[in-house]
């Protein structure tokens, strides 16, 4: 994925006062402003939709755009997931508290359009339907791990579910919740998975670790990136939130 002679080309800069963002697999941008307005721009940077009701459930904790037709907004303090359609219309909200899930640092879109959530109190990874019912759950992690993870990210990719705890590593499960392996990377930020390759940022480098071949590659971030609030890696694309602006590089 990362050749030694890879060269970054700055493709676009989207200026603004953004405090968070994500990008879907079609290249659409989802941008959260300081005024708590969520904007969707297409890959050309043209406005598609706006969602103004961001603060209804308190501070927005995370945005999941794994499925471009179904955006998940997670409000950790209210244990609530808000589901938006591709035009940022409010379709549904899932109150996790109704299932006695009061502590969850991370949620994610599942491969079958449900929601993964790690219940910190019960130490279980659970799959939740749109109506809030629990469809499946793992065994209590205390029965299989000496140290129970507290994941800050969940990623469902290519038949596997990755739970990342920056202090303990990456825990890999199959889509049925069976534990497969642990990858001992600590302290990474902005984790993502492409195929069987786990990517993350360590200081000023991108690390790419391919699970099948157990190979690691490293690539420095663009030289002009000194301060960054968030980084998103997609195949051939790098998106960086820096000083309120989104920098888009191709490589």
What are the residue boundaries of the structural domains of the chain, listed by start?
Answer: 20-196
What pLDDT, in 10s, does the model give residues 78-93? 999 999 999 999 999 9
Those residues of the chain that have pLDDT short of 70 are 1-6
Q: Give 141: exposed, middle or buried? Use CB within 10 Å, 0-12, 13-18, 19+.
A: buried
Q: What is the pLDDT of residue 197?
A: 95
Q: What is the pLDDT of residue 245?
A: 96
| C-alpha to C-alpha distance for 10 and 249, rounded to whole angstroms | 4
pTM: 0.93
Q: Using an 8 Å Cβ cutoff, are 192 and 185 in contact?
A: no
20-196 CATH, one of 3.90.280.10, 3.40.50.9100, 3.30.1360.120, 2.120.10.30: 2.120.10.30
Q: What is the pLDDT of residue 177?
A: 92
Q: What is the pLDDT of residue 6?
A: 57
What pLDDT, in 10s, does the model give residues 157-178? 999 999 999 999 999 999 999 9
Give the closest residue to 171 by CA, choosing from 132, 219, 123.
Answer: 123
């Amino acid at each position: 994925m990362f050749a030694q002679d890879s060269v970054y080309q700055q493709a676009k800069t989207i200026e603004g006062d953004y405090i968070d963002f994500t990008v879907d697999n079609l290249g659409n941008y989802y941008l959260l402003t300081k005024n708590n307005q969520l904007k969707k721009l297409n890959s050309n940077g043209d406005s598609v939709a706006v969602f103004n009701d961001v603060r209804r459930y308190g501070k927005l904790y995370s945005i999941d755009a794994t499925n471009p037709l179904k955006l998940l907004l997670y409000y950790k303090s209210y244990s609530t997931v808000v589901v938006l359609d591709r035009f940022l219309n409010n379709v549904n909200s899932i109150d996790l508290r109704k299932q006695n899930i009061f502590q969850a640092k991370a949620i994610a879109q599942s491969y079958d359009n449900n929601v993964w959530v790690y219940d910190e109190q019960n130490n279980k990874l659970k799959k939740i339907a749109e109506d809030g019912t629990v469809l499946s759950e793992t065994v209590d992690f205390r029965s299989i791990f000496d140290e129970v993870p507290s994941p800050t990210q969940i990623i469902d990719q290519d038949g596997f579910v990755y739970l990342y705890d920056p202090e303990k590593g990456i825990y890999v499960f199959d889509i049925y919740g069976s534990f497969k392996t642990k990858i001992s990377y600590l302290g990474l930020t902005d984790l993502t998975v492409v195929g069987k390759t786990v990517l993350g940022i360590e200081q000023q480098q991108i690390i790419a670790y391919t699970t099948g071949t157990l190979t690691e590659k490293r690539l420095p971030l663009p030289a002009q990136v000194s301060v960054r609030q968030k980084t998103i890696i997609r195949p051939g694309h790098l998106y960086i939130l820096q000083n309120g602006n989104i920098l888009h590089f191709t490589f």
